[in-house]
Amino acid sequence: MKNVFPEPGFFTELAARIARDPELPRLGVFDATFGLRVLPDSGGAGPLVILTFDGFVLSDVRRVDGAPPADVDFVLEAPHAVWRDLLRDPRSQTINTLTHHGAPMQVITTDPLGHDKLFRFQESVQRVFEIAATIT
Amino acid sequence: MAYNAPIDFLADAEFLEGFRRVRRGELSLDWMDAKTERVKVRPKDPRRGLTYTDLEVGSYSTERIPEVIRHTATMAPRGAELPPGLPDMGYIVNRKSEVWADNVLTLYEESKTRQWNAATDIDWSALDQYAVPPDLEKAFAQVCTFLSEVEMIATDLPAKWISRINHDFVELKSLLCMQTVDEARHTEVFRKRALAGGVGLLQASVYAEHALKGILESDTYTQASVFLHMLGEGFILSTFRNGEAIAPTPVDKKIFRLVMQDEARHVTYGMMHLRYFLQENPNRAEEIHLMLDEAETLMIGALGSPELAEPLVILAGKGTGKAEIARGIELTTQFQLTAIMEYFRRLERAGLTGRPERSKFTRLLTLIG
Q: Pick from B242, B258, B345: which is nearest to A100 by CB?
A: B242
Intervals of chain B under pLDDT 50:
none
C-alpha of A132 from chain center:
9
Cα B212 to the chain's mean position, in Å?
13
Sort out which chain B residues have CB atoms less than 8 A from A28's CB and list them.
110, 113-115
A8 within 8 A of A1, measured Cβ to Cβ:
yes
Question: What's the pLDDT tens digit per position in A59-102?
Answer: 999 999 889 999 999 999 999 999 999 999 998 889 999 999 88
- Which among B182, B251, B267 is the top mutation candidate for probing chain A, defined by the most A β-carbons within 10 Å of its own β-carbon? B267
User: Which of A122, A125, A127 to mutate to test binding with chain B, by most B CBs within 10 Å of its CB?
Assistant: A122
Q: What gap in Å lies between CA A130 and CA B251, rounded to an integer?
A: 16
Query: Is A110 within 8 Å of chain B by CB?
Result: no
Strands A48-54 and A57-64: antiparallel
The predicted pLDDT at position B359 comes to: 97
Helices (H), chain B: 13-23, 104-113, 134-151, 153-162, 170-196, 206-216, 221-225, 233-246, 250-280, 285-303, 306-317, 322-350, 355-358, 360-368
Report DSSP state, residue B90.
-
Q: Is the minimum CB–CB distance between B346 and chain A shorter than 8 Å?
A: yes
| Alpha carbons B339 and B337: distance in angstroms, whole number | 5
Residues B346, A112: C-beta atoms closer than 8 Å: yes
Helix/strand number for chain A, H first, E second: 6, 5
CB contact under 8 A, B245 and A101: yes
What is the amino acid identity at position B175? L
Tell me whether B263 touches chain A (CB under 8 Å). Answer: yes
Alpha-carbon dihedral angle through residues B241, B247, B249, B255, given to the nearest 10 degrees: -40
pLDDT for the residue B314:
98
CA distance B347 to chain A (A): 9
pLDDT score of A42: 84
Whether ipTM tops 0.90, in short, is yes
The alpha carbon of residue B267 is apart from the nearest alpha carbon of chain A, in Å, by: 8
- Determine whether the interchain pair B245/A91 forms a contact, defined as Cβ–Cβ distance below 8 Å: no
Cβ within 8 Å, pair B342-A100: no
| Whole-structure pTM value | 0.96
Q: Please answer yes or no on whether A55 and B245 come within 8 Å at the CB atom.
A: no
Max CA-CA distance within chain B?
86
Span A39-46, mean pLDDT? 84
Residue A1 Cα, gap to closest chain B Cα (Å)? 31
Question: How far off is chain A from B341, nearest CA to CA, in Å?
Answer: 11
Q: Which residues pair with B165 in a beta bridge?
A: B93
d(CA B137, CA B19): 65
Query: A16 to chain B nearest CA, in Å?
Result: 18
Q: Residue A41's pLDDT is what?
A: 84
Instruction: Give me the pLDDT at residue B173, please.
Output: 98
- Name residues whose C-beta falls within 8 Å of residue B54's C-beta, 6 or more positions apart in sequence: B41, B42, B43, B44
CB-CB neighbors (< 8 A) of A55 in chain B: 45, 47-48
Specify burial of residue B3 (Cβ count, 10 A radius: 0-12, 13-18, 19+).
exposed
CB A119 to CB B258 under 8 A? no
Contact A91 B342 (CB under 8 A): no
| Contact B95/A at CB under 8 A | no
Bridge partners (DSSP) of residue A35 are: A50, A75
In chain A, which ranges are continuous DSSP H helix?
A: 8-20, 23-26, 80-88, 95-99, 112-120, 122-132
| Chain B residues inside the 8 Å CB shell of A29 | 48, 109-110, 113-114
Contact B110 A120 (CB under 8 A): yes
pLDDT of residue B282: 97
CA A45 to chain centre: 16
Q: Mark yes or no for CB contact B342/A112 under 8 Å.
A: yes
**pLDDT by residue (tens digit) across A50-71?**
999 999 899 999 999 889 999 9
CA distance B295 to B298: 5
**Helix H or strand E encompassing A57:** strand A57-64
Residue A37: its H or E element: strand A32-39
CA atoms of B246 and B237, how far apart (whole Å): 14
**Is residue A136 very low, low, confident or very high in pLDDT (cuts 50, 70, 90)?**
low
Cα distance between residue B39 and residue A44, in whole Å: 56
CA distance A118 to B13: 62
- Identify the closest residue of chain A to B335 by CA–CA distance: A101
Largest distance between two CA atoms of chain A: 41
For residue A11, the SS3 value is helix
Q: Partners of A48 in the beta sheet? A: A37, A64
Cα–Cα distance, B369 to B326 (Å, whole number)? 16
The reply to whether B21 touches chain A by the CB within 8 Å rule is no
Instruction: Identify which of B141, B265, B241, B155 has the alpha carbon closest to the alpha carbon of residue B196.
Output: B141
d(CA B263, CA B236): 8
Nearest to B52 by CA among B189, B174, B140: B174
Which residues in chain B touch residue A113, judged by CB atoms under 8 angstroms apart? Answer: 268, 271-272, 349
CB contact under 8 A, B113 and A111: no
Alpha-carbon distance of A114 to B329, in angstroms, equals 30
CA dist A57 → A32, A53, A131 (Å): 11, 6, 14
